[in-house]
Homo-oligomer: A and B are copies of this chain.
Amino acid sequence: MKVDGKHIRPIWLSQDLKVVKVIDQRLLPHRFVVADLKNVDDVIKAIKETYVRGAPLIGVTAAYGVYLAALNAKDKPISNDFLIKECKRIKFGRPTAINLAWAVDKVLHETLKPETSSEKIKAALNEAERIVETEVENCRKIGENGLNLIAEISRKKGNQTVNILTHCNAGWLACVEYGTATAPIYAAFEKGIDIHVWVDETRPLNQGSRLTAWELGKHGVKHTVIVDNAGGHLMQHGMVDIVIVGSDRTTRTGDVANKIGTYLKALAAMDNNIPFYVALPSSTFDWDLKDGLKEIPIEMRDPDEIRYVQGFDRGAIKSVLIPPETSPAANFAFDVTPARLVTGFIIENGICRATEQDIMRLFPESKSH
């Protein structure tokens, strides 16, 4: 997408194909810094420490990680055992996003096939780039499919502003282009539909106020930052027409793991009869799972992500302590929104309700999984 008139993605490969370049998203919106990932350790660090975040981008970064594992293998010919071991390390980075394991396994599968080292490296690169382009195309189609929902609301409101609420950042920064939850927003914006986005700040890491607000602002989309506490009040007073969020893992029955707090917004949407949609590429489905609350692992992160808040002061990024030094904190990174609260899914291949039956209508090949 465009930043100050320049087309940019959150991840790309250096011209000599040796370095994976990523925007260090920890420093946005106050600093635009590109980090160099030169090996598997760099990739793991970037995923764990949230240089990159968002299910699709974690997947893409991990895919490039498998390529870097092959590229930098010391022993030649590259052994499959070595590749499998490196892939295990990468997959360990963050437990909730399904795309991580999915992308690693996909690239690994192709990399194990050839016999020579150079062919293995080439296969890894090809598959990683295929994943990148598939994600881009999927997000574009999610935008196309979701556009209809927004256009319909706009029509019903007589072209008055459509107010969309989103949680966390499921924007292009979380993907490669367009985003997932933001794809319909960007598509509606391009069509000239009058839209306004309520941006949940999304504590503790403030991906909403830092990243979504930055994305939307750079693209010229009207938006307002709110605290995570505010969405219910807005919905009670008719100030939200539709909620669109992303997902880190979705069960075949339609339960959605997403950034902590998503469940509360889904409850408020249900209570106020407001459509609550989850936009996701099909890679986010975990076809093995039937019960999100019981089966999806929820990552616990460093409590200091809550205790300290990072922001900008007089030209520098600073971290300030909020609670008493002695008060402990607990940092649950995701929650699960039960399918019964989800109006529908916006996927690259269509829109469906959050029931196993309707999901299977779009994915008949996963029926017997």
In the complex the two chains form, is B230's CB within 8 Å of A260's CB? yes
Whether, in the assembled complex, A13 has its beta carbon less than 8 Å from a beta carbon of chain B, the answer is no
Whether, in the assembled complex, A152 has its beta carbon less than 8 Å from a beta carbon of chain B, the answer is no
| Residue from B30, B226, B260, B309 in contact with A233 in the complex, judged by beta carbons closer than 8 Å | B260
Give bound CA distance, A309 to B313, whole Å.
Answer: 10
Known: A311-B309, A321-B30, A335-B236. A203 touches B228 (CB 8 A): yes
A201 to chain B, nearest CB (A): 7
Whether, in the assembled complex, A231 has its beta carbon less than 8 Å from a beta carbon of chain B, the answer is yes
Highest count of chain B CB atoms <10 Å: which of A230, A234, A313: A230
Please choose the segment from A123-131, A204-212, A279-287, A346-354 that sits at the chain B interface, where 4 or more of its residues have CB less than 8 A away. Answer: A204-212
| A214-236 contacts to B (CB < 8 Å) | 214, 217, 223-234, 236
User: Mask for A168-209, Cβ within 8 A of B = 1, else 0?
Assistant: 000000000000000000000000000000010111101001
In the complex the two chains form, is B335's CB within 8 Å of A298's CB? no
Chain B residues whose C-beta falls within 8 Å of the C-beta of A310 in the assembled complex = 320
In the complex the two chains form, is B267's CB within 8 Å of A226's CB? no
Please choose the segment from A34-42, A53-61, A323-331 that sits at the chain B interface, where 4 or more of its residues have CB less than 8 A away. Answer: A323-331
A331 to chain B, nearest CB (A): 8
| Residue from B30, B202, B228 in contact with A261 in the complex, judged by beta carbons closer than 8 Å | B228
Nearest B residue to A321, CB-CB: B312
Whether, in the assembled complex, A263 has its beta carbon less than 8 Å from a beta carbon of chain B, the answer is yes
In the complex the two chains form, is A311's CB within 8 Å of B306's CB? no
In the complex the two chains form, is B201's CB within 8 Å of A264's CB? no
Known: A260-B230, A268-B264. A224 touches B311 (CB 8 A): no
Give bound CA distance, A328 to B313, whole Å.
Answer: 18
Q: How large is the interface on A (under 10, 10 to 19, 20 to 34, 35 or more residues)?
A: 35 or more
A209 to chain B, nearest CB (A): 4
In the complex the two chains form, is B309's CB within 8 Å of A217's CB? no
User: Mask for A21-47, Cβ within 8 A of B = 1, else 0?
Assistant: 000000001100000000000000000
In the complex the two chains form, is B322's CB within 8 Å of A206's CB? yes
A303 to chain B, nearest CB (A): 8
Chain B residues whose C-beta falls within 8 Å of the C-beta of A331 in the assembled complex = 227
Whether, in the assembled complex, A2 has its beta carbon less than 8 Å from a beta carbon of chain B, the answer is no
Give bound CA distance, A230 to B266, whole Å.
Answer: 14
In the complex the two chains form, is B260's CB within 8 Å of A324's CB? no
| Residue from B217, B227, B330 in contact with A260 in the complex, judged by beta carbons closer than 8 Å | B227
Nearest B residue to A259, CB-CB: B229
A357 to chain B, nearest CB (A): 24
| Residue from B30, B259, B271, B318 in contact with A313 in the complex, judged by beta carbons closer than 8 Å | B318
Nearest B residue to A231, CB-CB: B264
In the complex the two chains form, is A226's CB within 8 Å of B306's CB? yes
Q: What are the 10 tightest A-B residue pairs by CB atom distance, in nearest-first order?
A: A229-B261, A311-B320, A233-B335, A209-B323, A213-B327, A203-B227, A267-B267, A225-B329, A29-B324, A232-B263
Please list 28 pairs of residues, one from A and one from B, whose beta carbons are closer than 8 Å in the complex, sorted by A's number: A29-B323, A203-B228, A204-B227, A206-B323, A209-B307, A209-B327, A210-B322, A214-B323, A214-B324, A223-B327, A225-B307, A225-B329, A227-B260, A230-B335, A232-B261, A232-B264, A232-B267, A233-B334, A233-B336, A263-B268, A264-B265, A264-B267, A309-B322, A310-B320, A313-B318, A313-B319, A313-B321, A320-B320
